[in-house]
């Protein structure tokens, strides 16, 4: 069967009426046809851009979708977006960026959901799967400087930060790595979407901040980055730059359709990084970094980091193996980093 015929068969299956069932919640959703597909997303400009880019890509590689109005965008406000004056660790962790979205998915109010994969918990709710991973964007963190900084030195980007400079970030991973390199720096909490954080830097709320290059690029704001920091200087978060699509495990036709846009390199990297994260069992208050990439010969190299929030303890590790063993590589590196780490790191 050719690709076009397969796509038609999958779409035909999706159009058949179904008897909806909720997975783990009490409410029972109303009957819905399988099409249109209801796509859940957060409300931020970046989340909406990622969702629309995914839908455009899916329609482009599945020509049948060009002729049909098959998608409904459902914007869902999450607790992580609603509460902006406290760190995520204080209100329940990064899973709060997906909690309400996954409740809607389990209830049958939406059919699939689009996420920044770094914001998803390592263990999904029962009955949900990571159905698709999209090609990874720029994995690096961007250092964004205010006008009060010195001239930028490409060989030593942190040298431009004045003594005792105030850095705005809510990421303990970034905080730990910055303080390990520059203990004199002062950290102030800064949350919000990309645009609001950029505005705070311009207003002088802090000397500098860091944002993911992936988000800046997707919003067409890469010019705001003063410098992109190499992973050797600032190891990114696990799955940074990867967009993931979740769906119900029993939505087999939909999961098959999503395989059309699955990116193998992103999936392999995600398997390694999420396995390492799960082995460390860290919370949002535990500084953890991870970056996996494919090598020639179907090999995979994973670099991991575990640190204390104040940067006084920081351990890096690296492991290489077959890409087919990505998850095991993550488990082994996570165990290696955890061995001998101070108990206070995991508080």
Catalytic residue positions?
119
Peptide bond into 311 cis (omega under 30): no
Partnered with residue 132 across adjacent β-strands are 245
What angle (nearest 5°) sits at the alpha carbon of residue 222, between those of residues 224 and 84? 65
Q: Contact, 39 vs 18, CB < 8 A?
A: no
Tokens of 274: 């999420």
Q: How far apart are CA 166 and CA 200, in angstroms?
A: 12
Of 283, 229, 288, residue with least CA distance to 94: 283
Burial of 35 from C-beta contacts in 10 A (0-12 / 13-18 / 19+): middle
Closest CA to 237 of 306, 335, 325, 186: 306
């Amino acid at each position: 069967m050719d690709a076009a015929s397969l796509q038609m068969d999958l779409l035909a299956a999706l159009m058949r009426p179904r008897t909806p069932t909720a997975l783990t919640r009490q409410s029972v959703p109303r009957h819905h046809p399988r099409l249109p597909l209801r796509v859940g997303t957060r409300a931020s400009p970046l989340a909406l851009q990622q969702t629309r880019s995914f839908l455009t890509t899916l329609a482009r590689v599945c020509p049948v979708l060009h002729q049909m109005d098959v998608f409904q965008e459902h914007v869902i406000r999450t607790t992580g977006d609603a509460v902006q004056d406290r760190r995520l660790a204080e209100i329940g962790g990064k899973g709060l960026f997906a909690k309400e979205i996954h409740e809607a998915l389990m209830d049958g109010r939406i059919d699939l959901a689009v996420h920044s994969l770094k914001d998803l918990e390592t263990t999904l709710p029962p009955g949900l799967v990571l159905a698709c991973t999209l090609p990874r964007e720029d994995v690096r963190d961007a250092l964004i400087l205010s006008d009060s900084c010195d001239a930028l030195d490409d060989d030593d980007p942190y040298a431009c930060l004045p003594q005792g400079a105030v850095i705005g970030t809510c990421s303990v991973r970034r905080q730990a790595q910055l303080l390990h390199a520059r203990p004199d720096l002062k950290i102030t909490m800064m949350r919000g979407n990309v645009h609001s954080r950029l505005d705070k830097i311009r207003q002088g709320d802090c000397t500098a901040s860091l944002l993911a290059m992936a988000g800046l690029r997707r919003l067409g704001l890469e010019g705001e980055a003063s410098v992109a920091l190499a992973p050797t200087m600032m190891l990114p978060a696990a799955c940074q730059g990867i967009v993931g699509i979740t769906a119900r495990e029993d939505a087999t036709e939909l999961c098959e359709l999503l395989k059309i846009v699955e990116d193998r390199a992103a999936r392999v990297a995600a398997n390694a990084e999420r396995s390492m994260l799960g082995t460390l069992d860290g919370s949002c208050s535990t500084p953890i970094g991870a970056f996996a990439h494919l090598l020639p010969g179907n090999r995979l190299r994973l670099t991991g980091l575990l640190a204390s929030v104040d940067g006084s303890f920081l351990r890096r590790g690296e492991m290489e193996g077959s890409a087919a063993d990505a998850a095991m590589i993550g488990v082994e590196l996570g165990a290696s980093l955890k061995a001998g780490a101070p108990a206070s790191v995991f508080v």
